[in-house]
């Protein structure tokens, strides 16, 4: 995918999500390109981003202005060739599960068919390589991970798919809340 297309798709994806996905400057989104990835910048409110604010970076020569969780995005893209979109969020529904170290189990048929389990990854400090490794290890072939005491990350082949995954994961998280 071209860098310019990836930038447009990221802006479009952020626009389609509820504000709760990106409190303050938290959360980040990336899309794989031909030779690297486009990712949201460090320390920005995602809802105010414009086309030129999004950053292209290579896997091995990381632009210092990229999101603080860029290592996690790169680790997932390196290990999972079928994944092209990654979204990390501190949405409160997922934070509750992260705090309790609780996975989303596919307890209803719709979740069993289209989401599957969302497991919990081991804790490591935000932005660290250790966190990137722990998340990728827990992710395996699942569609997302609850990051212990931190938040959640979701992956997909494209932006349409990640929207469905996130909506279903929210349903799963809400079942636990009730
Ligand atoms: Zn985070």
pLDDT at 177 over 80: no
What is the predicted pLDDT for the residue at 176?
75
Q: Which fold has domain 3-177?
A: L-fuculose-1-phosphate Aldolase (3.40.225)
129 CA to centre of ligand 1 in angstroms: 13
3 CA to centre of ligand 1 in angstroms: 24
Tell me how far apart the alpha carbons of residues 59 and 174 are, in angstroms, rounded to a whole number.
Answer: 36
Q: Which helix (H) or strand (E) holds 120?
A: strand 120-121
Tell me the whole-structure pTM to 2 decimals.
Answer: 0.97
Highest mean pLDDT among 4-13, 108-117, 169-178: 4-13
151 CA to centre of ligand 1 in angstroms: 6
Collapsing DSSP to helix, strand or coil, 158 comes out as coil
What is the predicted pLDDT for the residue at 175?
86
What is the predicted pLDDT for the residue at 132?
98
- C-alpha distances (whole Å) from 44 to each of 25, 26, 75, 159 are 5, 8, 22, 21
9 CA to centre of ligand 1 in angstroms: 21
pLDDT at 122 over 80: yes
Mean pLDDT of the residues in the chain: 95
pLDDT at 89 over 80: yes
What is the predicted pLDDT for the residue at 178?
58
């Amino acid at each position: 995918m071209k860098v310019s297309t990836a930038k447009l798709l990221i802006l479009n994806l952020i626009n389609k999500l509820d504000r709760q996905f990106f409190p303050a400057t938290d959360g980040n989104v990336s899309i794989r390109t031909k030779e690297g990835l486009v990712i949201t910048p460090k320390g920005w409110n995602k809802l105010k981003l414009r086309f030129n604010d999004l950053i292209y970076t290579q896997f091995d020569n990381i632009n210092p202005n990229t999101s603080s969780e860029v290592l996690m995005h790169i680790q997932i893209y390196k290990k999972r060739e079928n994944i092209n979109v990654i979204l990390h969020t501190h949405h409160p529904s997922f934070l509750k599960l992260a705090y309790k170290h609780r996975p989303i189990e596919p307890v209803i048929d719709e979740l069993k068919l289209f989401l599957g389990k969302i497991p919990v990854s081991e804790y490591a400090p935000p932005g660290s390589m250790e966190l990137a490794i722990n998340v990728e290890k827990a992710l395996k072939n699942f569609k997302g991970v609850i990051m212990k005491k931190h938040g959640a990350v979701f992956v997909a082949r494209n932006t349409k798919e990640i929207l469905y995954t996130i909506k279903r994961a929210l349903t799963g998280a809400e079942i636990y809340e009730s």
